[in-house]
Amino acid sequence: MTRFINPSYDVAFKRIFGQENSKDLLLDFLNDLLTGEKKIKKIRLIDKEQLPLYHKGREGIYDIACEAEEGEHIIVEMQNTHQDYFYDRALYYLSQTVANQGERGMKWEFGIKAVYGIFFLNFNLAGKLRTDVILADRDTGKQFSDKLRFIFVEFPFFKKTKEECVTGLDKWIYVLKNMEPLKEIPFKEEKKIFKKSEKIADLASLSKEDRVRYDADIRAYRDRLAQINSAKRKGITEGEKNKQIEIARNMKAEGIPVKLISKVSGLSTEEVEKL
């Protein structure tokens, strides 16, 4: 019987990293990720839903957002399924967070705080475990600005066994990638924070309401995967399927009848109703 939640699902990921009583886990992970670069002393969880930049603008919604003691904004997201425009999505999130720092009035001189985007991916995007993106001069490679930073971690390329994990980051990625089938969380003697993660991630510790939400999240993911696989069998690319779903979702938000949405988007009425 499975003992732990699977952090690749939205509800589980937020439970591990996105609660007030678990933000020390997030802080420990961030410092392991940024070892040799910076040391964050404390973080404050903030509302993850950014206000639109213009009327009827698209809202940026991600898993976790926090602010470090020097005002740096950090966005953390877990993404399970491949998206053709994921880099664009990441750029949109971070750019919106930069732009939202703007202040009205003549006194503001464009002093902005750094924005970090950390994205866990359960699919192949760049073809390697970790991709770090900065703003730099194309010819010299010299960093142009430290205000925008992207870090992508692709789980499929993490191949280390438990015995091969040496760094704190190795241990975190190993635990996150392998948590669900584990009987107990490893590395508790080397990193005491994992003792706490073991309690938080234990399925038995979930309230009735949290368990319902977690199970619903799993079903939603499986339905989404089934839609993608069905589309592939019909010869429709995943990118085209994503476009169909996006069209249908926008139409549904405007209150357009399901049958008409189905006709325009190419999705079945059942698929539209599940959105």
Q: Output the pLDDT for position 146.
A: 93
Are 16 and 51 members of one domain?
yes
Between CA 101 and CA 110 the distance in angstroms is: 9
Q: Output the pLDDT for position 108.
A: 81
Residue 159, amino acid? K
**Would you say residue 1 lies in a domain?**
no
Contact 18, 63 (CB under 8 A): yes
**Would you say residue 105 lies in a domain?**
yes
CA distances to 15, 53, 76, 103, 266 from 59, rounded to whole Å, are 23, 8, 16, 19, 25
CA-CA-CA-CA torsion for 224, 76, 9, 186, nearest 10 degrees? 150
Q: Output the pLDDT for position 5.
A: 95
Are 152 and 110 members of one domain?
yes
Q: Output the pLDDT for position 265.
A: 75
Q: Please name the residue ranges forming H helices in 129-192.
A: 168-178
Are 251 and 164 members of one domain?
no
Are 185 and 221 members of one domain?
no
Q: Output the pLDDT for position 221.
A: 81
Domain that holds residue 240: 207-275
Are 216 and 93 members of one domain?
no
In which residue ranges of the chain is pLDDT below 50?
49-61
Are 223 and 177 members of one domain?
no
Q: pLDDT tens digit string along 56-98?
A: 444 444 589 999 999 999 999 999 888 878 999 899 989 989 9
Give, as one character, the DSSP assignment of residue 58: P
pTM: 0.77
Are 137 and 181 members of one domain?
yes
Q: Output the pLDDT for position 130.
A: 97
Are 230 and 121 members of one domain?
no
Q: Output the pLDDT for position 237.
A: 64
CA distances to 106, 211, 219 from 153, rounded to whole Å, are 41, 27, 25
Q: Output the pLDDT for position 49.
A: 47
